[in-house]
Every structure is written in structure tokens, then in C-alpha cells.
Chain A
Amino acid sequence: MQDRPTYDELLAAIEHFLDTEIAPNVSGARAFHARVSANAIRTIRRELAAEEEHLAAEWAGLDALLGAAEMPVGHAALRAAIRERNRALSAAIRDGLDDDRLHQVYAHVRATVRNKISVSNPDLLDRSL
């Protein structure tokens, strides 16, 4: 285990530096890219905080649609397995689903996309309520 600051505390320091030292003191494309970079740090912080929960939720949703499977251990393995299952789900959508099934798929995809948005652009979620 590493000493403090934690990764989130370190990222907060970089975010603050970009927002208060860089963005206001450069101009044009560079200022824009500084704001984009600070935003990316905020995204990473939200992702790290929610990743465990979001991956597990996506896996459970896919279990309900494709049949239960054992959840791989470790984030890298889990992400790779989710990607494969999303390929299977995509193929099933392409092949055509009956209305009941389609309804379930919509609900799952909506929940998954909601989690992605809560990481990448939570403002959008607030505005859509």
C-alpha cells in the first residue's frame, strides 16, 4: 500500500494546477486543451471511484440477458470479459429480438450508458432528469 496522498488526492492536485495555473495563463488552443485536460482528470477520478460498482452492475445486467456466468477476478480480466459479452449482446440485437426481450435489452443498455455518463459527463445526467 502506498503512502498518502492517495491517487485521488494526487489527481486532485494536478486538476487544481491545470485549472488555476495553466488554463488562465495561456491562450487559444492551449487554454482549450488545458481545460480539456482538467476535465479528463475529473473523469478519471470519477471512474476510479465508481469502477468496481459499475463493472459489477454491468456484469449482473449481462447475466440477466445472456445467462449467469462466473465473474472474472481483477478489473482487466473483467473488462475483457464484458467486452466479449457485449459482442454477443450486439450480435443478438442484430439478429432481431422479440418485443419483451427488446424491452429488457433497452433497460440494461440504458442503465449501463447512465453509468458511463455519470463518469464522463454527470451534468448531462442532471439535465436529463
Chain B
Amino acid sequence: MDKVANRAPATPVRYNLAVTPEEVSAALRDFLLRSHGARNVIVENVRLLTGGASRQTWSFDATIDQGETLPLILRADPRKGPNVMSRSVEYRVLEAAGNAGVPVPRVHLMGDDSLGVPFFLMERIEGETIARRILRDEEYAAAREVMTAQLGTILAGIHRTPLTDDLRETLQSPESGKTAAETEVARFEQTYRMITPEPHPAFELAFQWLRRNLPPPSEDTLVHGDYRMGNLIVGPEGIRSILDWELAHIGDPLEDFGFLCVRSWRFGNDHLPVAGVGQREELFRAYEAAGGRHVDPNAVHWWEVFGNLRWGIICIMQASAYLTGMSKSVELATIGRRTAETEWELLNLMETN
């Protein structure tokens, strides 16, 4: 075989997005000029909102051919490589959920290869995402009163999103012959065994408990996969938008209920199990009133145990980014010590059942 043709193609290394706002601004302007066929594009107020290990989010304003100024968000992977979800999949999930009436940022444009990393643009929705402020500030007192019911209503909309062939082809689904619950346990057990630097007897007990107490099989729906405080945009009047769809998959709708009730998202409001704002019963009632299926509290309990285990494994994953030298972040380093909190919660949940 031709040796030259057999070599890996020379990847055009432009830049990963560890770049300056000026560079992002110039690249965005070129992209918008090209994709809108515009004569004149102004890109302003470019700033990095989050620079996580798995993605980057930039905020900016764009004015195209002297039109209205658009508040936009750039979602990009920080580097090329295997990511949790490709940006094009997240784009399509956002679009499908938005079409089904779920409050999400409107997608603006799917990116191309001009930034050297996968990206897309979406509408920027103003509001607060920081849990501590939403749960403590006087400004959000009225929002807190309505959020539990809103979380239920919105979840009914997410789970009603039609599973088009496109979504079925691109999203992870339960393995054939296995329920969604069995699939998720197997998936996270595999991840845990692969990455954990230390044995965790509490997690072994949890895996065993989950296998012995599996919930009944469910209908497949779209599952947000990261439905929790921190991924909501909130205004003084209530929830404005649901963010971070990169863990979306097809599975058991009750998974979202379980994850929403994980203790870590209560941020100390222990008497309010739903994201630190309300009671489970109110959440379930709102969901059913909005056309969601009947909620089985025992099955939700199972998914809450699973949610805590999953969050514990994610803590190990995040800390491993520090331990392997991929990141020097003090936040990622210290998150390793939060694993024990999920162990503690797991023991409490398993022993009271």
C-alpha cells in the first residue's frame, strides 16, 4: 500500500479554544459572515463563561447586516477528541426539545470546522444559574415557591419529546434485552472499575443493592441526564430555561427524578429534597398534571440511589483529571474528597429501604 496514503492525515491544528476573546471574536465574525452570507457582522462583548474540562461556553453579541443585535452563546469542545457527546448531537437534542415546547435556548447555527473544534451557537438567556444565589437570595424567593411545580411540568415536556429516528440513531439507548436501569448500572459499573484509583466498598454495596432491587421496566423516553440545580436558568419569576443537554440519552424517565433529588443539589436545604426547593410529592403531582405518566415513588427511590452512585463516580472521574495531570484545577482536585459524601448518602438511602 502507498505509504503516504496510509499515514494519518495531517490534522489542521488551528487552536484549541484556550484562546483570547479577540481570537474568538475574529473567528466568530468570519463564521457568521460566511454562514449568513452577510456583508457586515459585528461581534462584541466576547467573554468566557465556563471553561470546563469537557466544554467551553462563551457569551457574545452579534449584529448581522445592521439588523437587531443577537445575544448568543458559543458552545465548544475545548479540544478535538472523544467527548461525552458531540456538539452536533447536543444541537439536535436542543432543537428537538425546543420544538416539543421545553424551555431551552433556541439553537442558532450548527458550527463547521472553522474553529478547529466542534461547536454551535445558541440564544443567550439572561438569568441566574448559581445554586447558592437561587437558594439563598431574597431576589429569588418567589421563584423558589414555584420552581418545584415548574420542574415537574418541564420534565413532562422533556419526556414527551418525540423520539425521532434521528434521535434514536444518535443517542445512547438501553441495550437490547436489558432494561434502562440494568443498562445504566452496567455502564457506570464499567466506568467505575476502569477509573477508580481506590477500592470503594460502599460503592460495591450500592451496585449490589441496585441489582437486587431493580425497578420495573419502563417505556423509553428522552432523558435529560443532568436535570438538577446548576443546570437551570432562573429569574425572579421562576425557571427560564434548561441547560446542559450533553448527557441526554434514551432511557427510563424516572432517572431524571432520581438525579434531581440527589442530596448534593440541595446545597444544605436538606428538608427540601427536590433541588433544595420543594417536596417530592409536589414534583410528582405537577408532572402528572402536565400529562406525564404516573410516578412510582419506589422506582424514583431506586433512581435516587443510582443518582448518588453516579454522582460519586463522576466525582472520581473529575478528580482523576487532576490525578492524571490532565488538569491542575484545585476544584477538580478537591472534588475527589466529595466522593465520601455520596457514599454516606448511599448508606442512608439503602438502609432506610
Contact = CB atoms under 8 A, between A and B. Distances in A.
Interface of A: 32-33, 36-37, 39-40, 43, 83, 86-87, 89-90, 93-94, 96, 105-106, 109-110, 112-114, 116-117, 120-121, 123-125, 127-128
B311 to A, nearest CB: 14
B201 A124 contact: no
Interface string B128-141: 00000000000000
Contacts of A40: 330, 333-334
A83 B204 contact: no
B201 A109 contact: yes
B80 interface: no
B172 interface: no
Contact of A106 (B207, B329, B331, B351): B351
Interface string B59-80: 0000000000000000000000
A109 B199 contact: no
Contacts of A117: 340-341, 344
Contacts of B201: 86, 89-90, 93, 105, 109, 112
B36 interface: no
Given A87-B199, A109-B347, 11 more contacts: A40-B330, A89-B204, A90-B199, A90-B204, A93-B201, A105-B201, A113-B202, A114-B344, A120-B340, A121-B340, A124-B344
What are the nearest 4 A-B pairs in CB distance?
A116-B340, A93-B204, A86-B199, A120-B337
Nearest to A94: B204
A113 B344 contact: yes
27 contacts: A33-B329, A36-B334, A40-B334, A43-B337, A86-B200, A86-B201, A87-B199, A93-B204, A93-B208, A94-B204, A96-B208, A105-B205, A106-B351, A109-B205, A109-B343, A109-B347, A113-B343, A113-B344, A114-B344, A117-B341, A120-B337, A120-B340, A120-B341, A123-B268, A124-B344, A127-B268, A128-B344
A50 to B, nearest CB: 13
A114 B340 CA distance: 9
Given A83-B198, A90-B204, A109-B347, A33 B338 contact: no
B270 interface: yes
B348 interface: yes
Contacts of B347: 106, 109-110, 113
A113 B340 contact: yes
Interface string B319-350: 00000000001110110011011011001100
A92 B348 CA distance: 21
Contacts of B341: 117, 120-121, 124
The SS class assigned to the A binding surface is helix
Contacts of B200: 86, 90
A94 B270 CA distance: 32
Contacts of B205: 93, 105-106, 109
A123 B201 CA distance: 23
A83 B340 contact: no
Contacts of A123: 268
Nearest to B202: A109
A110 B351 CA distance: 10
B330 A128 contact: no
Nearest to B333: A40
Given A33-B330, A86-B199, A120 B204 contact: no
A112 B348 CA distance: 14
A46 to B, nearest CB: 11
Nearest to B332: A36
Contact of A36 (B202, B207, B330, B343): B330
Contacts of A87: 199
B348 A128 contact: yes
Contacts of A43: 334, 337
Nearest to B130: A32
Nearest to A127: B270
A114 B348 CA distance: 11
A124 B337 CA distance: 13
Interface string B202-236: 10110110000000000000000000000000000
Contacts of B270: 127
A66 to B, nearest CB: 11
Contacts of A120: 337-338, 340-341
A26 B348 CA distance: 38
Interface string B40-57: 000000000000000000
